[in-house]
Chains A and B, each alone.
Chain A
Amino acid sequence: MNGTLRFVTALFALLLLAAPNLSAQGEPAGGDEVTPSEIRARYEAIAGDFESRMKAFQDAFAELKTDEERRQHYEENYPDAGAIALPLLALAKEHPQVVGFEAVEWAMDNRVGGPARKAALELLAEHFLSDPRIADMLWNFAYDIDANTGSLLRAVMKTSDDEKTLGIAHYAFVKHLQGQVSFARYYTDAEETEKTQMAEYFGEETIASLTDLDSAAVERECESLFAKIVESYGEIPSMRGSDTLGDIAGRDLFELRNLSVGKQAPEIEGEDLFGSTFKLSDYRGKVIFLDFWGDW
């Protein structure tokens, strides 16, 4: 490329940047229409503002000497991702095809809760159920007991035709169900003051749906879902090292079938710390406290 041509190309690029009425495809947009590049620029401005606030927070944090100073700095200055996510998601709602997916991803990566999370889920449900890019995002929902999460995952399971998305959606959904069952048990046994706190945190509606849960029926559903994952989505990679979805769902299935309260404990056999072999069944006739432990 000779000097003059390079100059002309650079000039043209500059003109493109400076001309708000030209869209990225170079077609003029009429009236009040905003171009995709303008929308992206707005998105970058909001997200970038958060990044710079986060960097300022971290830089200041690194300078602090005592735990007390750090705690205070954290409480006073930690950037609120939820507050940033709301305008980001509002922009995404207007222009889902331009910045929708990025905004949802941003909200998930920054673990926002409350109304921002709700807005992100709505956006996902409305525009991205069959988008294969959502697959890895679905891991975020595995430990979320909220009923909205369950509906979203069910919708993905119904709508998507991408194998990886389907596999992870099934796994996240069954872990979500198990979370609901253990929460319901925990809630039932909790003290009144703790119950009030949990109701405030999760909302009366979620609490009501969880306390009405038929745990035995849900556990049967979990068992058949785990079996389905092993059978139909077993080869899909998981988030855990080299394990596949089949590996992790297989272990969950084993736990459900053999390690639940009321089941006969599976045999354990192996060497002790000093090299002699022993078995769990050697101790039959005694009450056993079995502790999986590490000195870390």
Chain B
Amino acid sequence: MYPHERSLVKRFADVPFEILGVNSDPDRESIRRIVKEKNLTWRSWWNGPEGPGTPGGIAEQWNVSGWPTTYVIDHKGVIRFKNVRGEQLDQAIERLLAEMGVEVPPPVEEEGHDAR
């Protein structure tokens, strides 16, 4: 997923688009190191587990039971897509940008194939 996300950051750098993460890793220190090493430039809420066998409060409120769980939200804050992956994710973002009257940038190549 990281390479795809980095390609989204690159492709949609000049249009109103943002990746936001909710990170449920237990160890905040190691996840800070990982985002630097792997060049994950988007912002994440830190949402570590609040007890054994539970996710953090945000993931719990959003009833997340599998990771990654993803949403695409439009510019008005309305949930428009859930768990779309790969090309369908690009298409979803393209469609919502087009609804805003934004000129949609052409696709870019994914770089690197690290884990996830």
- A residues sitting closer than 8 Å to B (CB atoms) are 240-241, 251-252, 254-255, 259-266, 268, 270-274, 278, 280-281, 283-296
CB of B63 within 8 A of CB of A254, answer: yes
Q: Is the Cβ of B23 less than 8 Å from the Cβ of A273?
A: yes
Is the Cβ of B68 less than 8 Å from the Cβ of A291?
yes
Contact present for A274 and B32 (CB under 8 Å)? yes
B residues 74-110 touching A (CB-CB < 8 Å)? 74-82, 89, 93, 96-97, 100
A296 touches B18 (CB 8 A): no
**Does B23 contact A268, Cβ atoms closer than 8 Å?**
no
Contact present for A294 and B24 (CB under 8 Å): yes
Which B residues are CB-close (under 8 A) to A287?
12, 16-18, 72-75, 93, 96-97, 100
How far does the alpha carbon of A270 sit from the alpha carbon of B100 in the complex, in Å?
A: 28
- CB atoms of A270 and B46 under 8 A apart: yes
Cβ 8 A contact of B70, one of A255, A283, A291, A295: A291
Given contacts A254-B61, A254-B63, A293-B21, contact A286 B69 (CB under 8 A): no
- Shortest beta-carbon distance from B17 to chain A in Å: 5
Question: Which residues from A are CB-within-8-Å of B24?
Answer: 292-294
B interface SS class? mixed
Q: Are B22 and A292 in contact (CB under 8 A)?
A: yes
Number of residue pairs A-B, CB distance < 8 angstroms: 152
Give Cα A287 to B32, complex, Å: 25
CA of A292 to CA of B58, assembled, Å: 9
Shortest CB-to-CB span from A230 to chain B, Å, is 14
The 18 sampled A-B contact pairs (Cβ below 8 Å) are: A241-B54, A265-B73, A266-B61, A270-B45, A271-B46, A272-B44, A272-B45, A278-B45, A280-B20, A280-B73, A287-B12, A287-B93, A288-B73, A289-B5, A292-B64, A292-B67, A293-B44, A296-B25
A262 and B61 within 8 A (CB): no
Could you say which of A264, A270, A271, A289 contacts B18, with CB atoms under 8 Å apart? A289
Q: How far is the CB of A233 from chain B (nearest CB, A)?
A: 18
Chain B neighbourhood of A241, CB < 8 A: 51-54
With the chains together, A261 CA to B84 CA distance in Å? 12
B80 touches A261 (CB 8 A): yes
* Interface residue B13 (Cβ < 8 Å from any Cβ of A): no
Alpha-carbon gap, A267 to B60, bound state (A): 14
Q: Which of A252, A260, A273, A296 contacts B79 (CB 8 A)?
A: A260
Given contacts A271-B46, A272-B45, contact A295 B31 (CB under 8 A): yes
Q: Which of A252, A286, A293 contacts B23 (CB 8 A)?
A: A293
Given contacts A261-B79, A268-B45, A285-B16, contact A291 B22 (CB under 8 A): yes
Which residue from A272, A280, A295 sits with its C-beta under 8 Å from B34? Answer: A295
Q: A241-B52, A251-B61 are in contact. List 5 more A-B contacts (CB 8 A).
A: A241-B53, A266-B62, A287-B18, A288-B17, A294-B67
The answer to whether B70 touches A294 (Cβ under 8 A) is: no
- CB-based contact A292/B32 at 8 Å: no
With A271-B45, A273-B28, A288-B20: A295-B116 Cβ-Cβ less than 8 Å? yes
